[in-house]
A and B are shown apart, each in its own frame.
Chain A
Amino acid sequence: MAVFRLQGTRVLAVDLAGDAVKAKKGAMVAYDGEVTFKKMTGGGEGLRGLVTRRITGEAMAVMEVKGTGTVYFADRATEINLVRLTGEKLHVEASNLLVTEPSLRTGTTFTGLRGASQGNGLFTTTVEGAGQAAIMSDGPAIVLRVTPGTPLVVDPGAYVAHTGNLRQQLRSYVGLRTLIGEGSGESFRIHFEGDGLVYVQPSERSTIGGDV
């Protein structure tokens, strides 16, 4: 059973006892013990996963980290957040996924226009099962709960991940005033409704719709 420990907020230590985790390729910064690193083609999801990822453009460079010892992961000093899943599904951009436990399955799913507005493509990565995953964000992620009575609206550039039973809808607020140069700067927003958690980062990626 792999044990995830955060060292500060930007380095993740994983204790391995003969088992394996999936990690973003190149994210290892140090290790001790006997550990091997093996590239997994197509996100380690088999031939079908490989083809799906090629077609959808949701590329995920993943390596399998296996052995006994402690491995330290970090990526460009971004903040690392641990997410414990108990059977639900986590939606996250492939570039924000750092490490997953072997008990978790990863896959791709269609997100529609939200992905397009983020410049991340029309597909996103899903993580399913029971276990821990580590996701990255620019600045510590803020976890916001969505309930049926309190829907949440998120800027596409600040969205990192979500879990639970949520419906998401990209809404455009482009109007006549946008066309005459009086845009609000918040012309594209994702509405989340239902029951679940949304992870946002205190920073905005530059997105296609960001300046409109």
Chain B
Amino acid sequence: MTHPAGGPVVHDAATLPSNDNVNPYAFSVDLEGQWFLQKGKMIAYYGQIDFHAIGHGPLDHLIAANFHSPLHASAWVVAQGRGKMLLADRAYDINSYDLDEGNLTIRSGNLLAFQPGLTLKQSIIPGFLTLLGTGKFVAASNGAVHFVEPPIRVDPQALVGWADCPSPCHHYDHAYMRGVLGGIRALTGLGGASGEEHQFEFSGAGQVLLQSTEQLMPEADTGGVPASAGPGVPGAQRPGSRS
């Protein structure tokens, strides 16, 4: 933020932006009704706002319609009321995006908040969440977000999410598998040359979101699904079985 001669910019309830960024690291929600947000990302608010945990309570109906991830329920809350609310996350870059009858899949740790016009579902890819519908959502990234179009291969750690395109698959360089050393690597996972032999591959039409670092944000949940989901469901782990 710039500091003009008269001192820093002072915001109040009226001058805070409405559903827009205050600076690259904080987002101001003009709340009138409800928003879903990740726990602990609210830094300040004006007005009357209540925070309801996801679970039993007065918002059962809303949650039944818009929140379909039991694993992440403990990490999310519903803000209800009226006022201006500031969101931020560890001084990371914050961006908001509009979806219009769209779908977008995003790493669970990067998603901060979304409007109830959107529906949150757990992706079949462990650690990712899918948003469907129309509305605004807010996401954090370590460094600015870049949009790229498939076909593209991306570093697993730089991937934030993707929209409108088929889910990615793993891609391994051929040399990674070849020869004696490659065999050892393939069998034991030891060694490795450049650290860039493994990528995620995207194909089809859509957009892929990348962050500017390969440093992952700590994630609250790995996004596995309950063991009862049974065989054939990615991420489901039966007790005693190896991954």
Contact = CB atoms under 8 A, between A and B. Distances in A.
A21 B74 CA distance: 48
B52 A158 contact: no
Interface residues of B, number: 39
Nearest to B49: A153
A211 interface: yes
Nearest to A158: B43
A185 interface: yes
A171 interface: no
B93 to A, nearest CB: 10
A138 B54 CA distance: 29
Interface string B73-97: 0100100000000101111001000
Interface in B166-193: none
A186 B43 contact: no
Nearest to B8: A143
A184 B52 contact: yes
A181 B56 CA distance: 11
Contacts of A153: 44-46, 49
A207 to B, nearest CB: 9
Contact of B26 (A147, A155, A202): A202
Contacts of A177: 53, 55-57
Contacts of B46: 144, 150-153
Contacts of B11: 142-145
A210 to B, nearest CB: 6
B67 to A, nearest CB: 13
Interface string A152-167: 1111011000000000
Contacts of A185: 38-40, 51, 53, 77
Nearest to A6: B3
B44 A184 contact: no
Contacts of B53: 177, 182-185
A83 B7 CA distance: 7
A154 B44 contact: yes
19 contacts: A82-B8, A84-B7, A138-B91, A139-B25, A140-B23, A142-B22, A143-B8, A143-B9, A144-B11, A145-B10, A153-B49, A154-B44, A173-B51, A177-B53, A177-B56, A184-B53, A200-B43, A200-B44, A211-B40
